[in-house]
């Protein structure tokens, strides 16, 4: 018995060290989970800076169409989206993702909150006398706000999507203080864009199907009705 007691005393410092290490590991894991919760728990694309990113962007800007993941109503605007992407030096599939979620290509859409057009831009972003529903004008104002969101999010697409939806002020606040709408926008925007990068089709994208099932299908039906009489626009 005394031998066991002496062994226990001999190994007591090691036992205490292991307990402290275990507690430290648990605290570290919990801290990491809290950071993920506050920053947003969905994996998303954060474009890196430098030559590699610029090369990848230039390759995407050379394409003449947006990715196949987007619905036909958004594909209708593909020539214009490609034109705007080249003009503003932004990935066309990021623009297509915003249009998909905001209007599904319904360029005459107006929300109860007053947001207008393809990019669902609020009226206070327009200059006096501008036609808010004109696709070119609407895109100019919407893309400017999106680029500002990307800059404030340090290129993190998911956070930029959250900022586009909830305002730039939500970007540093973190997931825990976002509205449900902004959280959904972050999740759908991130995952639809990732599926675009992966080359998935509309049917293959679980994220897009989730958005459609959550009510996006009704938005797309209204967009299809408005676009039906029109010919696919050719970008100037």
**Active-site residue, selected from the candidate residues 54, 73, 87, 102:** 102
Instruction: For residue 157, count CB atoms less than 10 angstroms from its CB and return exposed for 0-12, middle for 13-18, buried for 19 or more.
Output: buried
* Cα 25 to Cα 21, 29, 182, 185, 205, distances in angstroms: 6, 6, 32, 33, 37
Entry field: residues in the chain? 236
Q: Can you list the alpha helix ranges (DSSP code H) found in 174-216?
A: 180-197, 206-211
Torsions phi, psi for 10 (to 5 deg): -65, -35
User: Is there a catalytic annotation at residue 203?
Assistant: no
Residues catalogued as catalytic: 102
């Amino acid at each position: 018995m005394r031998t066991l007691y002496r062994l226990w005393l001999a190994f007591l410092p090691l036992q205490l060290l292991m307990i402290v290490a275990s507690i430290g590991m648990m605290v570290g894991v919990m801290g990491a989970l809290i950071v993920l919760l506050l920053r947003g728990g969905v994996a998303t694309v954060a474009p890196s800076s430098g030559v590699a990113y610029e090369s990848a962007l230039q390759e995407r800007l050379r394409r003449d169409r947006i990715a196949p993941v987007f619905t036909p109503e958004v594909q209708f605007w593909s020539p214009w989206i490609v034109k705007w992407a080249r003009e503003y030096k932004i990935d066309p599939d990021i623009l297509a993702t915003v249009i998909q979620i905001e209007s599904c290509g319904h360029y005459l859409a107006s929300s109860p909150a007053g947001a207008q057009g393809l990019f669902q831009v609020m009226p206070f972003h327009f200059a006096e006398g501008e036609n808010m529903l004109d696709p070119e004008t609407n895109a100019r104002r919407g893309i400017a706000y999106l680029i500002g969101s990307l800059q404030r999010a340090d290129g993190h697409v998911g956070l930029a999507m959250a900022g586009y939806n909830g305002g730039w002020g939500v970007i540093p606040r973190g997931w825990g203080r976002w509205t449900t709408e902004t959280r959904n926008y972050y999740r759908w925007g991130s995952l639809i864009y990732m599926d675009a990068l992966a080359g998935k089709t509309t049917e293959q994208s679980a994220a897009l199907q989730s958005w459609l099932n959550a009510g996006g299908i009704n938005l797309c039906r209204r967009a299809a009705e408005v676009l039906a009489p029109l010919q696919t626009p050719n970008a100037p």
